[in-house]
Structure 1
Amino acid sequence: MTAELRCVPPEAMGFDPSGWNLVTALAGQLCAEDVTPVFALQVVHTQRTTGPLLFESPAADASLKVTSDPIFLVASLTKPILAMGVVQLAERGLLALNDRVVDFIPEFSGADRRGITVRHLLTHTSGLPDMLPDNRELRREQAPLSRFISGTCEVPLDFPPGRGVQYQSMGYALLGEIISRVSGQPYDEYLRDALFAPLGMHDTALGAPESWWHPQDGEPPRVERIVGIRVPPEQEGGDDWNWNSRYWRSFGAPWGGLLSTPADLAIFCQTMLQGGQYGYTRVLSPAAVAQATRNQLDAYHDLSEADRRTRGWGFGWRMNWAAHSAAFCDLLGPAAYGHWGATGTLFWIDPARELAAILLTTQPLERGRSHLTRLSNAIVAALAD
């Protein structure tokens, strides 16, 4: 058995007090200067955790204020978690990662895409685009996921599968559909039953279910705890389809619709650190976790050597691209892995240090710079043991 997380003071986790004070000062400064309306931070180290630390901008609009126990739309942090659901199906013998996508989704046909495999989708090597050309129009129409799937089945590839690496959210739309068709459950329910519920992640859902809007037990609707995001210019005026809309909060996009808390994500990070087990509960095998969290691009001989070496992908997990502007942290080693989210979120895991950090904001990421990288540097530097 692996121990469940225990909340302890940072110094009991091995953090130098002055270094940890710098971490909290930097986090508080982000809100004091209104860089982000809300910031939640939680760190995990050797089966211990700080618990969630919350910061709030005094200048934030009332609609962006935080509750005492906030839930965040974590955007693309969804991808590695969904990917672990796919890997779990592989563990159970229900699919193999080199199976062709068309064998699960027959409408995903055509000579150019018949060779695309589940592995290609997991590693962003399928040739699919990130988003569909009519992505915004679909969202404005409040289209169901089936419209995104049918569009992905028809959209031209940007390169033949395995010949390049390109971030592709639409590949994760297909992975969600594969989970549904293979498991016989909607992908959101499968992840709930196979991962979230067993791990005790009770405030996590891939799309807010009806019970979050209309609870039957007299409790306040859980959706009232979802923190509003300071939407980017291209979403302004889209109150019926943007990140803060009921449509998008309920949609459960397989590529970016996860709703969760720092505490729940800390449990998931600890599960990964412990080889797929949390307390008495095992949801993944050590072998699956080991494969999912190492660079898988070495298997593709047609990729450039530079891509394979410096911009690695596991199964859904991105390795820390040290020389890239969006590195998780300048002080993490090559075994670290994690993911960014467009809503201003980041989590990363360093197995060498038994260390993980969850950093959730409500300020969309800016290209080319991130205050979260600087804060991650301070977290790692503060660890004294």
Structure 2
Amino acid sequence: MTDLSDELLPHGLLPEALLPETRRALLHRLAVGQAQGRTPSLVGAVMRGGRMVWSGARSMIEGHAPDANVQYRIGSISKTFTAVLVLRLRDEGLLDLADPLEQHLPGTVAGRATIRELLCHAAGLSSETPGPWWERTPGSLRPELADLLEEQPFRHPAGERFHYSNPGYALLGALVERLRGEPWGEVLRQEVLEPLGLTRTTLLPQSPHAGGFAVHPWADVMLPEPLTDTGAMGPAGQLWSTAADLCRWAAFLLAGDEKVLATDTLAEMRRPAVGPEGDWTACYGLGLQLARRNGRVLVGHGGSMPGFLAGLWLSEEDDVAAVTLANVTSGTPTSTIAADLVSIVAEREPRFPAPWRPFTDADPQLLALTGPWYWGPNPVALHLRAGRALELTELGSAARASRFRPEPDGSWTGLDGYYAGEPLRVVHAADGTVSHLDLGSFVLTREPYGPAEAIPGGVDPQGWHAG
């Protein structure tokens, strides 16, 4: 078990150590998972505050548990890396997520699917390739993109529903290769792995690494699984990594890194992109899975390949992530265990909020806008935040506040909820004073339905009266 107590944070402080009882609870959860899942080995790690603060392992070999530097195959967690490469292309202006694949990668039978649909598994493509089973056979059996899809690959109308597609992510990897002019794995190394210091994340295993096994369902015996290079299917599930590297990856997915991808783009990846809009328990973003577990929203991805299972979940609210890696084909719920590790830390050692501090750049004109406003008779309150940002709350309601970012033209744009993307503008009267606020055509005034001249449809000349 490792606490990385010698790893310094950028400002010279040691990462906050977990309490002994928390560490024991984490290791106990791994021990239960390894025993009940009958897995040769199970590694877990926790990230908090941008750093790995704990790792532990259990193994079938007494005194020989792997550490956080041992490679395991991570399966579909590879898709999160592929999605980042695609969004880099979008942010550089080389493509739009609404573009059909055919526009950039002509000649495939899936050309009408959009890049966004492929990213969030809404293109309706088949889940798997035509035989043989791609996860257990070499990629040399599928040398061309045409080998990855049937002649009629669509199982559902595009855009109508979530339908997980491994070949869809192979197509996204091929898209990266076409626009970059280099193999997907090389682009990944240059643009993501090296800048983030993920030196133990590779296409093929590098020592020390675990061997993959299947465990007999009715007897405690094992069978080695083949370690294959899946070729063109690599962007869907080829990568090998370690608990330490995946903690760094989780920190990146949470906070971003301008060398690789902006914070706003990572936030876009973490939002639901397909699936139920209401009270959902699981859905998909742009290359990331989302789930409601143990009373919190988790973002990450699971992974499986013959001989290996993996799970990575992060809680943005708690600033905690957990990774689990197992070298078994089935039976060990690594995603559930990772979610439990997040809960153990978040519940036993809740995050300290950042200290309140005043900001010194308050514009008097913006300060004058704060306080109560009314949408018709409904009271709301406008708050000024740092960086000229605004926040709108409903008075007397538990509804979440709506945040607005300032724009160069003096307006604001909604960031979340009903007003996401909607403009907020200050409207002045003829004498230069503030008349009202226009929020996506909703009029907010300083008095309920007043001044009358600002209210769409006018106001009864009698004004407020008793019936």
TM-score w.r.t. length of structure 2: 0.64
Retained in 1: the 8 A contact 2:117–2:159? Answer: yes
Distance 1:360 1:7 in 2: 29
Distance 2:134 2:319 in 1: 44
Deviation at 1:145, TM superposition (A): 4.9
From 276, 296, 300, the equivalent of 1:332 is 296
Retained in 1: the 8 A contact 2:68–2:243? Answer: no
- 1:83 equivalent in structure 2: 83
- 1:36 equivalent in structure 2: 39
Deviation at 1:224, TM superposition (A): 3.3
Give the letter for the 1:101 counterpart: L
Retained in 1: the 8 A contact 2:314–2:342? Answer: no
Identity of aligned residues (%): 22
Structure 1 pair 55–172 and aligned structure 2 pair: CA distance change class (3 A): same
Where do 1:150-169 residues align within 5 Å? 150-152=147-149, 154-169=151-166
Please tell me whether residue 294 in structure 1 is matched to residue 271 in structure 2: yes
Distance 2:31 2:14 in 1: 20
Deviation at 1:187, TM superposition (A): 0.6
Structure 1 pair 188–181 and aligned structure 2 pair: CA distance change class (3 A): same
- 1:325 equivalent in structure 2: none
From 188, 191, 206, the equivalent of 1:223 is 206
Retained in 2: the 8 A contact 1:37–1:363? Answer: yes
SS at match of 1:254: helix
Deviation at 1:372, TM superposition (A): 4.5
Structure 1 pair 349–184 and aligned structure 2 pair: CA distance change class (3 A): same
Deviation at 1:73, TM superposition (A): 0.5
Retained in 1: the 8 A contact 2:272–2:285? Answer: yes
Structure 2 gaps of 5+ residues are 1-8, 352-467
Per-residue CA deviation, residues 231-276 of structure 1 (Å, 9 max, x unaligned), is 3679x9997xx5x42x337877111111111111111111222233
Please tell me whether residue 259 in structure 1 is matched to residue 256 in structure 2: no
Using the TM superposition, name which of 83-92 and 357-366 deviates more. Answer: 357-366
From 93, 117, 121, the equivalent of 1:120 is 117
Per-residue CA deviation, residues 105-124 of structure 1 (Å, 9 max, x unaligned), is 22214xxx443111010000
Distance 1:6 1:27 in 2: 31
Where do 1:206-245 residues align within 5 Å? 207-208=203-204, 223-231=206-214, 242=225, 244-245=226-227
Distance 1:138 1:35 in 2: 22
SS at match of 2:186: helix
Retained in 2: the 8 A contact 1:346–1:359? Answer: yes
Deviation at 1:318, TM superposition (A): 0.7
Please tell me whether residue 314 in structure 1 is matched to residue 285 in structure 2: yes
Retained in 2: the 8 A contact 1:319–1:337? Answer: yes
Per-residue CA deviation, residues 35-89 of structure 1 (Å, 9 max, x unaligned), is 22112211111133225433312389x9xx8478311111011111110111011
SS at match of 1:223: coil
Distance 1:363 1:173 in 2: 24
Aligned length: 336
Structure 1 pair 231–32 and aligned structure 2 pair: CA distance change class (3 A): closer
Q: Which has the higher contact order (CA 8 A, sep 6+)?
A: 1
Q: Alpha carbon RMSD of aligned pairs, Å?
A: 3.4
Retained in 1: the 8 A contact 2:214–2:222? Answer: no
Deviation at 1:359, TM superposition (A): 1.2
Where do 1:34-73 residues align within 5 Å? 35-58=38-61, 66=66, 69-73=69-73
Please tell me whether residue 361 in structure 1 is matched to residue 326 in structure 2: yes
Distance 1:153 1:181 in 2: 22
| Richer in helix (by share) | 1
Answer with 1 or 2: which has the greater Rg. Answer: 2
SS at match of 1:166: coil
Structure 1 pair 310–51 and aligned structure 2 pair: CA distance change class (3 A): closer
